[in-house]
Amino acid sequence: MRLLSVRLIVSLILGVTLVSLLSSYYEVRAEKRGLRRELELRAEVLAESLAGNVEPYLDGRSLKQLQQIVGRFSNREHLVGVAVLNTKLEPVAASAGLAQQVEIRSLAIPQVVVDNKKESQFLRRAGKAKHIYILPLHRNDQVVGELIVVHDANYIDAQTARVWRETFLRVLIQVVLIALITLLIVRWSIAGPIARAAQWMKSLRTSRVGSVRSAMPDLDLLRPLAREMETLAESLAVARSAVEKEAQLREAGESIWTAERLAVHVRGKLAGGQLFVVSNREPYSHIRRGNSVQAVVPASGLVTALQPVLCACDGTWVAHGSGDADLETVDEHDRLRVPPEEPRYTLRRVWLTKEQEEGYYYGFANEGLWPLCHIAHTRPMFRMSDWEHYRQANVRFAKAVLEEMAGTDQPVLLVQDYHFALLPRLVKEKRPDARVALFWHIPWPNPETFGICPWQRELLEGLLGADLIGFHIQSHCTNFLQTVDRTLESRIDWEHFAVNREDHRTALKPFPIGVDFTTDLRAHREQNIYMERISLLQEAGVEALFLGVGVDRVDYTKGILERFLAIERMLEKYPLYREKFTFVQIGAPSRTHIKRYHDFLADVEAESERINWRFRTVKWKPIIFLNRQHSHTEIERYYRAADVCLVTSLHDGMNLVAKEFVAARDDEQGVLILSRFTGAARELRDAVLVNPYDIERTADAIRYSLEMEPEERSARMQRMRKTVKEGNIYRWAGNLIGDLCEVRLKNPADPRAVAQVAPLPRA
C-alpha cells in the first residue's frame, strides 16, 4: 500500500506539474503578445498625433518650433524619445536624451520613405529591448521625411518574468496540496476501506459459523468490488453453515434435507442429464421502476426448492414472462441467465397475449379448474373460448420446452400445477425418451365432482402422458385413479397406484410439500416476543393482550369469512377477551378482476367492518384487515409474535401457511389452529384441528388455544417443528425428482428428433 501511495503521488505531481507548466507557457505567451500589441497601438496613436503637428513645419525654416513640438510629446510612459528625419535620413528634430541612448540614424529605415509605408519593429540594442515605430511624413502629398517613435520594451520582459515566477510558486503550492490531498484520499478512500474489508473478511474467516456476522463495511470508491466481496462472503458463510449443519446432523444421526444435499442428490440422479421445469410463474420477473429495471423474486416455495437443483445441473426453467420489462432483458431466443448476481441456469420466457392470458389463466384455470378441485361451494365456470385458450397455451409452452430440449439426451421434465394438464402428453409424443412428471398442487376431487368438467377426458389424457403424477396426500391419488377408472379405458394397478394405458404407464404418488426450514437463531436472539407483539399492535393503533394472525390470499377457499364469524362468536361467548384479543388478517389481493374474487374481497372487508363496529372501543378493535402484499420478513414478525395462528381453509391441497408458522416459532410457543380439510392436517397432528364450517367449536378452539398451558404449547410445537423440519421443501423436491429419474422408459425414440407440436384435437 505504501508503494502504491508513492507511485500515485509521484504520478500526480509529475502530471500536474507538466500540465501547469504547459498552461503557464501558453499563458505567458498570450500575456507577452497582449503587451506588445498594446505598446504598438500606443506608439501608433502617438505617431499619428505627432505627425499632424510637425508636418506643417517641415519647410526647413521652422526648426525651432519643430523642436518645441517634439519636446512636448517626449514625456510619455515608457517613451525613450521622438525624432524627425528628412528624406536624406538626417535628424531634423529629436527629443532630449534620445541621441544619448541610441544612434538616431541607425534607427532610420529608408524603405519607409521609398515605399511611403509605416513600419513597426521590436529590437534589442545594448542588451535592452526597444520598440521602434516609423511613420512617413508628408507635405503637399509628397514624402518629406519620417517620424521615429522609440519606446522602452524592457517592462514587457519584466512582466513576463513576473508571470513565470508566479506560475512557479502556484505550481509548487499545487503540488504540495495535491500530495497532501492524495495522501488523505488514499488513506480514507482506499487504504482505510481495504483495511476495513480485510478485517471484515478476517472476522468471517476466523469466527464461528453460529456467531453474529458483522455488517459489510462501506468501501466508498471500491463499491463494485464490495458487492462481489459481499457475494463471496455470503457464499462462504452459506457453505460453512451447510458444512457445520451437515456435521451436526451426522453427529446426531439425523438426515435432514438441505439445499446442498438436494443439489448433490439430484445431480447424481440425473447422471449428467439436464432438468427442465415448466411453471406459469417465473422465478425472476423484471419490473420497470422509474428509469431502472429491477429483477424481482416472487414469494414462492417452488423457487426455493427448485433453484438449487437447476443451478447444480445448469437446467432450464420455462415460464410465462409477465413482468413489464421482461421482454427487454431476454436475448433473441427469449432466454436469459439467472440468478442475476450469479447466473447458473437458463430462464426461457413464453409470451401470451392479454386475451390468451385471460382465457387460459384467469378463465379456464382459475374460474374452471380451481373451484372444481376445491370443494368450497363455488360454481366453476367453463367456457369454450377459455378452453381453446388453455389448449393453445399448453401447445405454446410445449413447443418452447421441446425447443429447449433439442440436442439433449433423455431429458427430465418437471411440470408444475393445474395450468398444464395437457402439456405432458404433448411433450411425450415428440420426446418419448423424456422422463416427465407433473405435480398437482391443488386437491383432486372425487370422480362425481370432476365429471362436471366438459373436457375431463382431454385433461386426463393429457395428464396420463406423464410418467409420474404427484399429489400432496394419498386421498388425492385415490380420487385421481377413481376418476380415470370411470372416464377412460385403462388398466388400474391399485396395488402400485399406477395407470396403464396405450402401452404407457403413469405412476401416482403423494409428495407432501414443505417449507424452507432454515431457522436462524442469530437473527432472533436479541428479539423479545412480548415487545414485538406490543410494537405490532401499536403500529395497528390498538391496545390488546393477545394477538392472533391469519395469512392468506383473499380467496373464497381459505375460510376467511368463517374465521371472522368464529372470532365474533368467541367474543360473544367469552366477553372476558373483549379489549384483550385482536386478530390480524393479512390478506394479499388475488385475481381481483375476476368477479367472484372482487365480490369476495368486498364481503371480507364488509364483514370485518361489521364485527369491528359491534365490538370496537376507543383503543381496541377485534379484527385488523391488512389488504396488501407483504414480504416474508413482514409476515414473519406476525408469526413470531402471535399467540395463535388460524388456518381455516375450506379445502386445500396442503396450505404452507401452517408450516411457515411452525417453522418461524423457534421459541416453541404459539398455537396453530388448523382446518381438518387441509393437507397439512395429515402431518401436523399436534395442531388444534377444527371444522371451519362449525363456527361454535372453532370459537371454543380459539379460547382453548389462548388458555393452553405453556408446557403443552411447547410440547405440541416441538413435535410439529420436528415434522416440518424433516419434511421440508428440499425433501419434497429430492423425492419427486429422484423418483422421476428412476422411471424406466420403453424403447425411447431418437432424443434429438424434435418435431413440431401438433395441436390437440378440438372437443
Mind listing the pLDDT tens digit for each residue in 293-307? 898 887 666 787 788
Q: What is the pLDDT of residues 86-122, one digit of tens each?
A: 877 778 788 776 766 667 777 778 887 778 888 888 8
Residue 308 in this model has a pLDDT that exceeds 60: yes
Residue 669 in this model has a pLDDT that exceeds 90: yes
Residue 376 in this model has a pLDDT that exceeds 60: yes
Residue 46 in this model has a pLDDT that exceeds 80: yes
State the helix-helix crossing angle for 2-54 and 154-185, rounded to 10 degrees.
Answer: 160
What is the pLDDT confidence band of residue 633, given thresholds at 50, 70 and 90?
confident
pLDDT at 758: 43
pLDDT at 678: 95
Q: Are 600 and 556 in contact (CB under 8 A)?
A: yes
The mean-pLDDT minimum among 188-192, 329-333, 677-681 falls in 188-192
Higher pLDDT, 236 or 294: 294
Name the DSSP class of 217: P
Beta strands 546-553 and 581-588 are parallel
Question: How many CB atoms neighbour CB 663 within 10 A?
Answer: 22
Q: What is the pLDDT of residues 447-458, one digit of tens each?
A: 999 999 999 999
Q: Over range 427-441, report the average pLDDT.
A: 96
pLDDT at 22: 80
Residue 70 in this model has a pLDDT that exceeds 80: no
Q: What is the Cα–Cα distance from 189 to 197, expressed in whole angstroms? A: 12
Backbone angles phi, psi at 687, to 5 degrees: -75, 160
Nearest to 137 by CA among 51, 48, 47, 50: 51
Contacts of residue 245, Cβ cutoff 8 Å, sequence gap at least 6: 256, 258
Q: Over range 578-601, report the average pLDDT.
A: 91
Please compute, for residue 388, the number of CA atoms within 13 A of its CA located in the half-sphere on the CB side: 5
pLDDT at 419: 96
Higher pLDDT, 468 or 205: 468
Segment of 161-165, 190-194, 227-231, 410-414 carrying the highest mean pLDDT:
410-414
Residue 521 in this model has a pLDDT that exceeds 70: no
Q: What is the Cα–Cα distance from 195 to 199, expressed in whole angstroms? A: 6
